[in-house]
Amino acid sequence: MGGPARDGELGAILGVFAHPDDEAYLAGALMAKAVDAGRRVVCVTATRGELGFPDDDPRSIDERKAVREGELAACLAELGVTEHRWLDHPDGGCVAAADEPVAVLAALIDEVRPDTLVTFGPDGQTYHGDHIAVSAWSTRAVAAARHTPRLLYASMTPAWVAAYADVVPMDEVMMVPGAVPPTVEPEDLAVWFVAEGALLDRKVRALRCQTSQVEGFVELVGVERFGELSCDEFFRDPAPDDWPAAADEP
């Protein structure tokens, strides 16, 4: 009723993501807006993204981690986010974790007491195992914590997917061959925030701090088109069956 909220007012934010750059793509403008409004923003990253390089990259795993760490630090500085936590799981290994990250996140929720927790939806957007695991951890943590923030799942609309597919085939993005990208109709979104002007420029600068992940795409589509594809931040509320059964809570 009334469509998605578009004002970007989420209060204090706890963002829980899988890899460096997830935070900027999915919620960079919302986090920057919250910071500017004097809200507390805490970003959590599950892995250091060491697998996000070509197979022939000559750097060691530790060197790759250091690259991603530095890029994320620069990105968050551009957004104005000063609080960041690593969960230190191996890239590609989040599915193997059990209850420990849920307990860590539940404790963090009670420490930070955010108004809103933003994370991936249960589909992980691309069906990436790390994304799916982070969504499950976050959902269980919200259910288990004493403090109860609003939980929002990052989403995509059919129109956004079509626009993205014009420049990159979705088969190159989805982690399951032949999978159809999961989408949410605009009227079913809870939040649809569009970054414009200086805020969009800031988000684009933040994303481009993650050079190893982003610059190839920017070179492919151009800065203007990259901004057009980065301006929308979509979130939905959890559905009843997204919540864990009581036995699943740590």
Tokens read off for 147: 């403090």
CB atoms within 10 A of CB 128: 22
- The stretches in the chain having pLDDT less than 50 are none
pLDDT at 48: 98
pLDDT at 246: 65
Q: Output phi, psi for 182, to 5 deg.
A: -70, 130
pLDDT at 247: 53
pLDDT at 1: 54
Tokens read off for 43: 């970003």
Inter-axis angle of helices 211-221 and 61-79, to 10 degrees?
70
The pLDDT tens digits for 90-117 are 999 999 998 999 999 999 999 999 999 9
Tokens read off for 190: 């809870």
> Which amino acid is it at 248?
D
Q: Which residue from 24, 11, 36, 249 is spatially nearest to 113, judged by alpha carbons?
A: 11
Which CATH number is 13-237 given? 3.40.50.10320
Q: Which residue from 174, 209, 168, 212 is spatially nearest to 73, judged by alpha carbons?
A: 209
> pTM of the predicted model, to two decimals?
0.96
* Half-sphere exposure in the Cβ direction for 185 (13 Å, CA): 3
pLDDT at 2: 76
Q: What percent of the chain has pLDDT over 90?
A: 95
Angle at 98 between CA 92 and CA 184, to 5 degrees: 65
For residues 200 and 141, the answer to whether their CB atoms sit within 8 Å is: no
pLDDT at 9: 98
Q: Which residue from 228, 49, 188 is spatially nearest to 131, judged by alpha carbons?
A: 49
DSSP H helices in 145-196: 158-165
Q: What are the angstrom distances between the C-alpha of 232 and each of 30, 54, 89, 248?
A: 10, 28, 29, 33
CA gap 145, 150 in Å, rounded = 12
Look-up: residue for tokens 């790390």?
130
Q: Domains of the chain: which residue ranges? A: 13-237
CA gap 168, 227 in Å, rounded = 15
Q: Is 6 exposed, middle or buried (0-12, 13-18, 19+ CB in 10 A)?
A: exposed
Q: Which residue from 66, 15, 65, 10 is spatially nearest to 34, judged by alpha carbons?
A: 10
pLDDT at 98: 83
